[in-house]
A and B are shown apart, each in its own frame.
Chain A
Amino acid sequence: MEAVTGEAGRTVDAGRPFPPGRYPVVVVGSGAGGLQVSYSLGRLGIEHALITVDDAPGGMFRRFPVFERLITWTKPHAPFERGTREYEWYDWNSLLGEDPMHRAVVPGLMDGTSYFPSRAEMERGLGAFVERTGLRIRYGCRWEATRHEDDGFVLTTSDGEYRSSHVVFSVGMTEAWTPSIPGIEHVPHYVDMKPPQAFEGKRVFVVGKRNSGFEVADGLLPWARQVILASPRPVRLSILVHSTAAARARYLQPYEDHVLGGGTFVLDASIERIHRTADGFRVEARGTTRPGDLVFDVDEVVSATGFKTPLGDLSDLGVATFYQGGRLPAQTPYWESPSVPGIFFAGSVTQGSIGLKKYGIPSNSAAVHGFRYNARVLAEHVARTRFGVERDRPMLESSRVVDHLLAESTTAPELWNQQSYLARVVEFRTDRGIVDAGIQPLAHFVDASEPDAVALAVETDGDGDIHPAVYVRRAGRVAEHLLAGDPLHDFRGSDQRAQLAGAIGDLLE
């Protein structure tokens, strides 16, 4: 592409935005996370460059899920009208917009055969969001290396150098991750597996019993002669552990088949070794919950062992990582690297900012319905703390605070999609009065020392009860108050009113 010299000495490619140069913020990645950050930064007036190696928007949804159907719902018909804020709880796949035309894009593109969009529908939805919002993206720009200089970071790309003090990496978590099992190098990973027709009449061994493992097994049931799933830990089911990170209900047909003795096996075993044989593979395993040696002669093996983040050279820059050899970057509650300030993360990578994780229930940050809110909160945080741009925060009458918070606990999509993770915050400021301080990470709120404030989250406990949780900060100390649940999840009743008023009454006086 022809290059010319533009303003401020930047090199401009005809027709491509964001040529190499210095920007207040650089965002890397054009998946759902990168698009949401860019949109939200733009609405706050923060100049930034959005670059991506891809040639179209969509990120992981341009390739995955392999079996072409998402596990995140979008309900075309819901208790709230499309395009309202409340409807977002029922539409887990659209990005967040401030104008009506920017909202609830995905349901309008679905064909009605399922309330789980197809991969293609999701990809089209993200493309339509870009088109309707006018987001500008520099495609075909590969991030290759990173270094730290006195005035910030320098990103070497295939198009040249980008300089900024604030870089947001939204690079997904779709790189194959495989455990250290001898012989697994001969086995295709989920990301590289053949189409289901290639498994017709075959005996297939799937390593892994999380969602990708069950997705593979479910997709192969009509084709394979037999499917065997195995991993060391017993299956965790979303309906029992109250988490979308566990095996989702819609993939459980192989598990029912196993329970009924239908020929599919779901086993707890550590995989010791995988051998190539003349006819396929031999898998040697050892039972964990039921001890004993197991040997399987199979035609095919698929490794559904999870994914990692393509962090490039960020570890060399000092970015701390964790989780099975560094699959995720460590992050603060505002998704910043604690070891390299100025490096931020968006998209599914934000699951590395763990939050309170009460009762072991993780956030939904691994999926669009969780991380789209993280991205918006991140944009507001960067705008406020780095550029002095503050979103308007309305004042509240003291008589309205209880009703306001209980209404939020009943219908706020941020609180329902990111339980125990994002909270609605009301501050009691000595200089201004009572201020609606918006949505904040709960982990930040409970560890911050001022001002006096209340944070309200929606939480699920170990027994599965869903209820509002209130965190009250007075003079630097935070106390937790759990409010009553409700069988229909309407928390605006007299019990909750009395409990909340009791918890914060002194602050309202």
Chain B
Amino acid sequence: MTTDQETADTLAGFSVFSDLSAPQLEEAAHTLEEEWFAEGQRVLRQSFTGGGLYFIVDGEATIEIDGEERARLGRGEYFGEVSVLLGEPPVADVVATRALRCLVLAEPDVEPFLLAHPSVMYRMLQAQARRLRSANLWRR
């Protein structure tokens, strides 16, 4: 359980939000909606429209494609960004493997939020670049 101030403090500890000022963090804490998922519950559903960008605050989730686990995510990590940035439904399910608490930016809010907070966008670009580098190294 967290209060709004604790949510802002939590966001400050996540790398993508680390460049925001204190008032901006508080604005973000009020903009992202908190959602809670029970163990085994699907958070994002493969091929369903209307998703969002999810930041994990507590708990753990798996990314599954056609029932096969592809990755495991924990506190401070995020998911859903590919589908909201491309405007396409997710290509994978995301399932809570234990009680999961997330802060969520709904799909229509992602673009205005990132444009208003370019430092968050830049940090996300860096994360995507690292993932691309890892994927390229893996393929060599």
Contact = CB atoms under 8 A, between A and B. Distances in A.
Contact of A462 (B23, B33, B45, B107): B107
Given A286-B23, A322-B101, A480-B47, A179 B4 contact: yes
B24 interface: yes
B1 A322 contact: yes
Interface range, A side: 35 or more
Contacts of A461: 49-50
B1 A326 contact: yes
Contacts of B35: 322, 354, 357
Contact of B109 (A356, A360, A480): A360
B1 A325 contact: yes
Interface stretch (B11-19, B36-44, B68-76, B131-139): B36-44
Contacts of B29: 232
Contacts of A361: 106
B23 A357 contact: no
A287 B41 contact: no
A233 B30 contact: yes
A321 B45 CA distance: 24
B interface, by DSSP: helix, strand, loop or mixed?
mixed
A247 interface: no
A180 interface: yes
Most buried by B among A269, A286, A359: A359
Contact of B22 (A270, A320, A356): A270
A232 B30 contact: yes
A330 B35 CA distance: 9
Given A322-B36, A462-B108, A179 B50 contact: no
Contacts of A446: 42, 45, 48
Given A321-B1, A357-B106, A447 B42 contact: yes
A231 B99 CA distance: 31
A447 B41 contact: yes
A270 B24 CA distance: 9
Interface in B73-115: 89, 99, 101, 104-109
Contacts of B64: none
Interface in A462-509: 462, 478-480, 482
A427 interface: no
A338 interface: yes
A324 B5 CA distance: 9
A320 B99 contact: yes
Contact of A270 (B26, B99, B109): B26
B1 A288 contact: no
Central interface residue in B3, B45, B50, by most chain A CB within 10 Å: B50
B45 A269 contact: no
B52 A360 contact: yes
A462 B38 contact: no
Q: Which of A270, A286, A478 has the most CB of B within 10 A?
A: A270
Contacts of A291: 21, 23
Contact of B106 (A268, A269, A360): A360
Contacts of A339: 38, 99
A359 B33 CA distance: 12
Contact of B27 (A179, A180, A268, A357): A268
Contact of B34 (A287, A324, A478): A324
A115 B53 CA distance: 38
Contacts of B107: 359-360, 462
A462 B50 contact: yes
Contacts of B104: 360
A358 B90 CA distance: 13
Interface in A360-409: 360-361
A332 interface: yes
A288 B27 contact: yes
Contacts of B48: 356, 358, 446, 480
B27 A289 contact: yes
A283 to B, nearest CB: 14
The 3 closest A-B pairs by CB, nearest first: A360-B106, A358-B50, A322-B36
Given A233-B30, A322-B35, A357-B52, 17 more contacts: A179-B4, A180-B4, A270-B22, A288-B26, A288-B27, A320-B99, A322-B36, A326-B1, A330-B36, A354-B36, A358-B50, A359-B50, A360-B107, A446-B48, A461-B49, A478-B45, A479-B47
26 contacts: A179-B5, A231-B30, A232-B29, A233-B27, A241-B108, A270-B22, A270-B27, A288-B26, A288-B27, A291-B21, A320-B36, A323-B34, A325-B3, A339-B38, A339-B99, A354-B36, A357-B106, A359-B107, A360-B104, A360-B105, A360-B107, A360-B109, A446-B42, A459-B50, A462-B107, A480-B48
